[in-house]
A and B are shown apart, each in its own frame.
Chain A
Amino acid sequence: KGIITCISCFQIHFLFSGSTPPINTFPHGPTISGALVLAAGTWSGQVLVFDIPAKGPNIVLSEELAGHQTPVTDIATESAQGQDCVVDMVTADDSGLLCVWRSGPEFTLLTCIPGFGVPCPSVQLWQGIIAAGYGNGQIRLYEATTGTLHVQINAHARAICALDLAPEMGKLLSAAEDTFVHIWKLSRSPESGYIEVEHCHGECVFDTQVCGARFCDPSGNSFAVTGYDLAEILRFSSV
């Protein structure tokens, strides 16, 4: 199973490990520091995990994770280092099922969050909070370790196509086929520790079925949007 085939067929999500940390980091067991772990979701529902060494071209398939029965749509990761929670990875699929994993010498399935009849095209993970966007326009926030639903947002009137995180500020971006992009602020209540959310901003991209959206900076002060039939990438910044 060559890596070249993988890149053309699967959705790929990079997990970096070692001394130089980009956005998503987590140490992966007894591997050599500087090595990469790559998790790829497949059509069949399997999640393939590859070890990419720091030096040399030998990429090795290290695990095949079973948990999904329908195509995997998205993967989210976060370094669990220095936190109470031990969740590293969340995978989502076409049936709306979410699988929550912990890394280690091998990946362990911690819990599953069932779907409810619509796909989950996008998922994000931040400080033990899972944010999932669904085909019916809802965003749901779950406690990662237990899989308990804490927040349900009726956010959009059409299927959500993308969620993105600005981890410095805990900002969440949601974009959907209803032409809207919404920005939310995630937090935890200091008393109960429960997940809370606040709506910050809504933007209507006129007559454009949004297909993708991303923050342009880690504090979430600007974001970019792509849409169906749109040749341009639109960028919005807060003034």
Chain B
Amino acid sequence: MSMRTLPLLFLNLGGEMLYILDQRLRAQNIPVDKARKVLNDIISTMFSRKFMEELFKPQELYSKKALRTVYDRLAHASIMRLNQASMDKLYDLMTMAFKYQVLLCPRPKDVLLVTFNHLDAIKGFIQDSPTILHQVDETFRQLTETYGGLSAGEFQLIRQTLLIFFQDLHIRVSIFLKERVQSSNGRFVLPVSGPVPWGTEVPGVIRMFNKKGEEIRKIEFKHGGNYVAALREGSFELHGDRVLKLGTNMYSVNRPVETHMSGASKNLASRTQESIAPNPLAKEELNFLARLMGGMEIKKPSGPEPGFRLNLFTTDEEEEQAALTRPEELSYEVINIQATQDQRRNEELARIMGEFEITEQPRSSASKGDDLLAMMDGL
């Protein structure tokens, strides 16, 4: 599997999160200055230099649970609060959106264009903050440096790594169902018409050549689809027409964003299996989380700025209902790792270590804890 997948996964999921938060902030009529502050704080945390440095190191993809913890922290990087049920729903929407984008990318390399679409939109949210804009441009440059020279084969591997990460997720998303992009069983619709990817020829032609390489015959066959030639290639420059629409903000028109959780018992069963299976990468994941979140510079809310709660559902009652009906095993456990000289820190970490215990020959848990504590001390 590719060791270069994490930056793409993180940035695109982060982009989707911002689209959804922006839409909910507007729908809930949060005052403009507060809404702007929330987005600015989250974006500036996401693109901080230290965080990006950790992100771009070649590494394996970790579990959905581990990654979810990072987004939980990110979403709370400002004065906004989200309940467990709302955070769950946010994460579901984010993951299904990016899964859709990866699946429908015409060429494996187009996942980079999807990422650039997200970054372009993010720059739109922070137009009035030159410092953060600079951070985003810097990340752009790092993406080009890391991915600009990769071959088609390497991009295909990245694509496969991402698809494996999203395998068996079939949450039905209202906006996808309405646009007939997702069918009622949760599977995405794969169209067999439209432009072919850049670099692919329209199927339906057989060409035959002689020994000298001269074309001697050309016949057509019925291939079953309804494809046309690609118009032009999207731009990989800092500014440019990406051509591809995947990764642009589909919530920009004011529409209620809902997910259907009911009637998906089959989905629930498969996801339960995934979350309770022992995770062999547990220790590595914990270290990765510590490093990544250590790199997050969370600003403490200054002054008398009061926090507020954002609801991903249309009413508070709906949110409560969702929290009640969600099975216990599926609740993503939020691990609070605080990089502060906290009295409770040692006990907290020891408890986390206990939760991640893998069944193998017993090692002294003290040594595992020491490694992580030492790392935290260094932050």
* Partner-B contacts on A (CB < 8 A): 70-71, 93-95, 117-119, 121, 135-138, 146, 148-159, 178-180, 182, 192, 194-197, 199, 202-204, 206-209, 228-229
**Cβ–Cβ contact A95 & B151, under 8 A:** yes
* B156 contacts partner chain A, Cβ-Cβ < 8 Å: yes
User: In the complex, which residues of chain B have a beta carbon less than 8 angstroms from the beta carbon of A178?
Assistant: 190, 192, 203, 225
User: In the complex, which residues of chain A have a beta carbon less than 8 angstroms from the beta carbon of B190?
Assistant: 178-179, 206-209
Give Cα A209–Cα B160 distance, bound, in whole angstroms. Answer: 12
Give Cα A71–Cα B200 distance, bound, in whole angstroms. Answer: 23
**Cβ–Cβ contact B223 & A180, under 8 A:** yes
What are 30 A-B contacts defined by CB distance under 8 Å?
A70-B153, A94-B156, A95-B153, A117-B199, A121-B156, A135-B108, A137-B196, A137-B201, A137-B203, A146-B211, A148-B209, A149-B213, A150-B209, A150-B210, A151-B206, A152-B206, A154-B206, A157-B196, A157-B200, A158-B197, A158-B200, A159-B108, A159-B156, A178-B192, A178-B225, A179-B190, A199-B206, A207-B189, A209-B190, A228-B103
> Which of B106, B189, B190 is the most central at the interface, judged by chain A CB atoms within 10 Å of its CB?
B190
**Cβ–Cβ contact B223 & A151, under 8 A:** no
* B370 contacts partner chain A, Cβ-Cβ < 8 Å: no
**Cβ–Cβ contact B192 & A179, under 8 A:** yes
User: In the complex, which residues of chain B have a beta carbon less than 8 angstroms from the beta carbon of A229?
Assistant: 167-168, 170, 187
* Partner-A contacts on B (CB < 8 A): 103, 106, 108, 151-154, 156, 163, 167-168, 170, 183, 187-190, 192, 196-197, 199-211, 213, 216, 221-225, 227
With beta carbons under 8 angstroms apart, the residue of B197, B199, B208, B223 that contacts A155 is B223
Query: Which partner residue on chain A sits nearest B193 by CB separation?
Result: A157
With A178-B192, A209-B190, A228-B163 given, is the CB distance from A154 to B205 under 8 Å? yes
User: In the complex, which residues of chain B have a beta carbon less than 8 angstroms from the beta carbon of A138?
Assistant: 200-201
**Cβ–Cβ contact A157 & B209, under 8 A:** no
Give Cα A182–Cα B204 distance, bound, in whole angstroms. Answer: 11
A178 nearest CB across to chain B (Å): 7
Q: What 8 pairs across the A-B complex have the smallest Cβ distances?
A: A94-B153, A199-B221, A119-B153, A154-B201, A202-B224, A136-B200, A152-B207, A154-B205
User: In the complex, which residues of chain B have a beta carbon less than 8 angstroms from the beta carbon of A146?
Assistant: 211
A171 nearest CB across to chain B (Å): 15
User: In the complex, which residues of chain A have a beta carbon less than 8 angstroms from the beta carbon of B222?
Assistant: 199, 202
Query: Which partner residue on chain A sits nearest B202 by CB separation?
Result: A154
Query: Which partner residue on chain A sits nearest B167 by CB separation?
Result: A229
With beta carbons under 8 angstroms apart, the residue of A94, A149, A195, A209 that contacts B151 is A94
Tell me what chain A mostly uses at the interface: helix, strand, loop, or mixed: loop
**Cβ–Cβ contact B153 & A180, under 8 A:** no
User: In the complex, which residues of chain B have a beta carbon less than 8 angstroms from the beta carbon of A196?
Assistant: 208
User: In the complex, which residues of chain B have a beta carbon less than 8 angstroms from the beta carbon of A206?
Assistant: 190
A16 nearest CB across to chain B (Å): 30
**Cβ–Cβ contact A157 & B208, under 8 A:** no
Q: A95-B151, A156-B223, A194-B208 are known; give 4 further A-B pairs, CB within 8 A.
A: A136-B197, A178-B225, A202-B224, A229-B168
User: In the complex, which residues of chain A have a beta carbon less than 8 angstroms from the beta carbon of B106?
Assistant: 158
B370 nearest CB across to chain A (Å): 33
Total A-B contacts with CB atoms under 8 angstroms apart = 121
User: In the complex, which residues of chain A have a beta carbon less than 8 angstroms from the beta carbon of B188?
Assistant: 207
**Cβ–Cβ contact A71 & B153, under 8 A:** yes
With beta carbons under 8 angstroms apart, the residue of A203, A207, A228 that contacts B167 is A228
User: In the complex, which residues of chain B have a beta carbon less than 8 angstroms from the beta carbon of A121?
Assistant: 156
**Cβ–Cβ contact A180 & B192, under 8 A:** yes
**Cβ–Cβ contact B208 & A119, under 8 A:** no
**Cβ–Cβ contact B199 & A136, under 8 A:** yes
Query: Which partner residue on chain A sits nearest B186 by CB separation?
Result: A229
> Which of A135, A157, A199, A204 is the most central at the interface, judged by chain B CB atoms within 10 Å of its CB?
A157
**Cβ–Cβ contact B187 & A207, under 8 A:** yes
User: In the complex, which residues of chain B have a beta carbon less than 8 angstroms from the beta carbon of A95?
Assistant: 151, 153
Query: Which partner residue on chain B sits nearest A94 by CB separation?
Result: B153
With beta carbons under 8 angstroms apart, the residue of A118, A151, A182, A207 that contacts B152 is A118
Query: Which partner residue on chain A sits nearest B205 by CB separation?
Result: A154
With A180-B224, A229-B168 given, is the CB distance from A197 to B206 under 8 Å? yes
Give Cα A71–Cα B152 distance, bound, in whole angstroms. Answer: 12
User: In the complex, which residues of chain A have a beta carbon less than 8 angstroms from the beta carbon of B205?
Assistant: 153-154
A68 nearest CB across to chain B (Å): 11
Query: Which partner residue on chain B sits nearest A203 by CB separation?
Result: B224
**Cβ–Cβ contact A151 & B225, under 8 A:** no
**Cβ–Cβ contact B207 & A157, under 8 A:** no
Give Cα A121–Cα B183 distance, bound, in whole angstroms. Answer: 30
Give Cα A148–Cα B208 distance, bound, in whole angstroms. Answer: 12
B219 nearest CB across to chain A (Å): 9
With A149-B209, A194-B208, A199-B206 given, is the CB distance from A137 to B200 under 8 Å? yes
User: In the complex, which residues of chain A have a beta carbon less than 8 angstroms from the beta carbon of B103?
Assistant: 209, 228
User: In the complex, which residues of chain B have a beta carbon less than 8 angstroms from the beta carbon of A150?
Assistant: 208-210
User: In the complex, which residues of chain B have a beta carbon less than 8 angstroms from the beta carbon of A207?
Assistant: 183, 187-190
**Cβ–Cβ contact A155 & B203, under 8 A:** yes
**Cβ–Cβ contact A135 & B153, under 8 A:** yes
Give Cα A194–Cα B217 distance, bound, in whole angstroms. Answer: 12
User: In the complex, which residues of chain B have a beta carbon less than 8 angstroms from the beta carbon of A209?
Assistant: 103, 190
User: In the complex, which residues of chain A have a beta carbon less than 8 angstroms from the beta carbon of B153?
Assistant: 70-71, 93-95, 118-119, 135
Give Cα A227–Cα B205 distance, bound, in whole angstroms. Answer: 26
Give Cα A159–Cα B151 distance, bound, in whole angstroms. Answer: 14
**Cβ–Cβ contact B183 & A154, under 8 A:** no
Give Cα A119–Cα B167 distance, bound, in whole angstroms. Answer: 23
> Which of A154, A156, A195 is the most central at the interface, judged by chain B CB atoms within 10 Å of its CB?
A154
Query: Which partner residue on chain A sits nearest B169 by CB separation?
Result: A229
Give Cα A178–Cα B351 distance, bound, in whole angstroms. Answer: 48
> Which of B152, B154, B205, B225 is the most central at the interface, judged by chain A CB atoms within 10 Å of its CB?
B152
